[in-house]
Amino acid sequence: MPNLAYAPVQPEPLSARNFARLASVIQEASGIKMPAAKKTMLEGRLRRRVVALGLADLNAYCDYLFEAGDYEAELIHLLNVATTNKTDFFREPAHFDFMTKIALPDLAAQGRRTVKIWSAAASIGAEAYTLAMVMEEFRRTERGLDYTILATDICTDVLAQAAAGRFPKAMIDPVPMELRKRYLLQSRDPAVQDVRIAPSLRAKAAFARLNLMDDHYPVDDDYDFVFCRNILIYFDKPTQERVLANLCRHIRAGGYLVLGHSESAIGVDLPVMAVVNTIFQKV
């Protein structure tokens, strides 16, 4: 007879019905597709929330979400769990080269005083702070060109981390050494594993929650650069098209829409023309 006292306790799996309910809510609220292949991933990620709420299992969580709890408040947590927040400093560096070599010199030549940038799926802020470093470097020779950065995301957990401006040391490998010296603060204490963004850079970026699924985005309509990278791939085609059309409403004529390496606006009816791979200019 097996010794049941030592048998590992198998967590109760999410029922197929409850997975379907969660998947449907997640897709409707955030645009993120949740096919059956993602069930194990979602179960794993949700377990911490189940423990935090003191619930028995994932199915009890669904009862809590749909019946017992404050649905709107809990939905924010569910979407935090559903999002994939992978990011890096200087991710897809060709985009920053394009800014430095082509777009920014052009704006400076036009006599522009302020460049407005929106990082529209910002995650923990590596993209926004990369943009701040790029702008600071450009301003070393073009002092007259100031800038603002708005960084938004649906996930409140990543926004809190982004605003704190603290990153694990392992993340700063892609930041060139000179820029690390200028814009990152490293503790002399080897026990401190985090690197901090210099306060002058942090002051340049504002972080806010914004759901790209919303019909209207409460942000300015004259951005010079909208970065919306590595998020459209999680959406279905109609959602991608709707989000792209909405984003374009917030770019000034001549401004740029910058997408992730496997994303495109080609074939979508938008007021943009392709400039180089994954960079589009509003016409």
Ligand X SMILES: C[S@@+](CC[C@H](N)C(=O)[O-])C[C@H]1O[C@@H](n2cnc3c(N)ncnc32)[C@H](O)[C@@H]1O
d(CA 240, CA 52): 34
User: Is residue 173 annotated as a catalytic residue, yes or no?
Assistant: no
**Active-site choice (21, 45, 182, 196):** 45
CA dihedral 102, 150, 32, 22 (to 10 degrees): 170
d(CA 55, CA 114): 50
Question: Which of residues 48, 86, 113, 252 is near ligand X by CB under 6 A?
Answer: 86
Question: Which of residues 132, 134, 205, 231 is near ligand X by CB under 6 A?
Answer: 231
CB of 123 to ligand X, least distance (A): 3
Q: Counting contacts by CB under 6 A, is residue 85 touching ligand X?
A: yes
Query: Angle at the Cα of 68 (from 67 to 71), degrees rounded to 5?
Result: 75
Stretch that binds ligand X, among 27-35, 59-67, 108-116, 133-141 (CB under 6 A): 27-35
CB of 118 to ligand X, least distance (A): 11
Nearest to ligand X of 55, 224 (CB atom): 224
Question: Which of residues 84, 100, 148, 281 is near ligand X by CB under 6 A?
Answer: 84
Stretch that binds ligand X, among 28-36, 62-70, 93-101, 262-270 (CB under 6 A): 28-36
Q: How many residues does the chain have?
A: 283
96-135: which residues touch ligand X (CB under 6 A)? 121, 123, 127
205-224: which residues touch ligand X (CB under 6 A)? 211-213
At 24, list the tokens.
């449907």
219-256 burial: b if 16+ Cβ within 10 Å, else e: beeebbbbbbbbbbebbeeebbbbbbebbbebbeeebb
For 224, residues 6+ apart whose C-beta sits below 8 A from its C-beta are 103, 107, 112, 115, 116, 117, 251, 252, 254, 255, 256
Q: Counting contacts by CB under 6 A, is residue 30 touching ligand X?
A: yes
Of 125, 236, 136, 117, which Cα lies nearest the Cα of 178?
A: 136
Q: Counting contacts by CB under 6 A, is residue 229 touching ligand X?
A: yes
What residues are annotated to the active site? 45, 153
Give contact residues for ligand X (rule: CB under 6 A): 30-32, 83-87, 91, 121, 123, 127, 153-155, 158, 211-213, 229-231, 260
